[in-house]
A and B are shown apart, each in its own frame.
Chain A
Amino acid sequence: MNYKSFREIAIISMLIVSCDNFIIERSASDYFPMEEGNWWFYSNDDLYDPKSINITVEPVDTILERECFPFNVSGEFRFYSKDVEGIKEYIKITENYGGNELTILQGFITRLELPLVSGNRFTDSLTDSLDFYGRWIKVRYVIYGFVSDYYEDRIYGGVYKVIINKRQTIAVEDSVILKEEYLEEHYAPGIGMIEFRNAQGIFRIKDFHLE
């Protein structure tokens, strides 16, 4: 091999190696594909307590004059819509009074700010105060998000890890009820969530279908 050939190979190798953090893949990929008919199947790896979760995207619905996709999460429905700032989730908090479930807070809240960029922190909240049959109630729902990491998965490509903290507070005159949930979610380009961790454990994707 002469010097010129060696130099050409070295230049091409340097060019390919310099592209190995796949910045275009990260910039151009959809990390949250929302299309009717998409589904993802997850299960945990616990041999003694196996669990599985199936998520299916149902036909478009309209809530609060906003088009959104119902996500059927093993029978429980969650509603998501996409706008320029990211994925919004519909939140509805109800309170029981005299056997009736009455809505005390509802609205769309930023669930995931897009596009995903490592280190980005986002937060969004819904707040309302109301006179609930003579009791003054203050309701607040907050989501804190942090895109904590980016790593290369040998099957799914460049994956982002997102940490989500959901905090729901219902304050009445003499007490405060706080519910808090931590989630860790991993998103792959063109596929969506491939792994998540919640209070029930770690769930990994086993199969999926995208329209």
Chain B
Amino acid sequence: MIFYFLLSLHLGFEGGINKPITGLDYNLENGNIYRIYIGKQDLNHNVLLNLVINGSYYYGENPGYSFSTYGAGIMITKIPWRVSPYIEVGITYVTRVLNKSKEWGMSFDYTFGFLINFYYENINIYPAFYYYGITDFRVHAGIMGMKLGIRYEL
């Protein structure tokens, strides 16, 4: 049973760049993101269900300032379309550092965008474009991003 379950899993890595467009654009320039996920196909609904761990680092306009996020979430991607939409929700640990002073907090985040899928045997390579929203339920900030991902079916 476990063997068959493992056989249906997939692993993925993603990396890309983010550009704050609302809220955070006041203090931040570009950011880098890195993500790793493990997931499973749900053929009843033709979607991929992924558990994601992600991180990002943003450079401040003030050279002494930086903003980082470390999060976990659930990503759902439509298959088997060439251009497939996806959504993701999760929670994020946020840190902001200016010189040697640091603040932290928790936030809720969501993403929606689309992937352009290219397949080669068990490997799926895709560029993706998305909108990433992050909120503490009082203020919302929006970020546009693009990433490149690779997914391997076990």
In the bound complex, do residue B91 and residue A24 qualify as a contact, i.e. CB atoms below 8 Å apart?
Answer: no
A53–chain B nearest beta-carbon distance, Å: 27
- Answer yes or no: A86 CB below 8 A from chain B CBs: yes
The distance in angstroms between the C-alpha atoms of A85 and B104, with both chains bound, is 21
**In whole Å, how far is A38's beta carbon from the nearest beta carbon of chain B?**
16
- Chain B residues with Cβ below 8 Å from A118 are 101, 103
Total A-B pairs in contact (CB under 8 Å)? 104
Bound CA span A157–B137, Å: 13
Interface residues of A, CB < 8 Å — how many?
31
Measured CA separation A21–B60 after assembly (Å): 21
In the docked arrangement, what's the CA distance between A211 and B134, Å? Answer: 26
Q: Given that A15-B108, A28-B141, A114-B27 are contacting pairs, would A23 and B136 also be in contact in the complex, using a CB cutoff of 8 Å?
A: yes
4 A-B pairs with least C-beta separation: A23-B105, A28-B23, A119-B101, A117-B98
Which A residues contact B (CB, under 8 angstroms)? Answer: 15-16, 18-30, 84-86, 113-115, 117-122, 147, 150, 157, 189
Q: A15-B91, A24-B138, A26-B96 are in contact. List 13 more A-B contacts (CB 8 A).
A: A16-B137, A20-B136, A22-B136, A23-B96, A23-B103, A23-B104, A24-B105, A25-B139, A85-B64, A114-B27, A115-B27, A117-B65, A119-B102
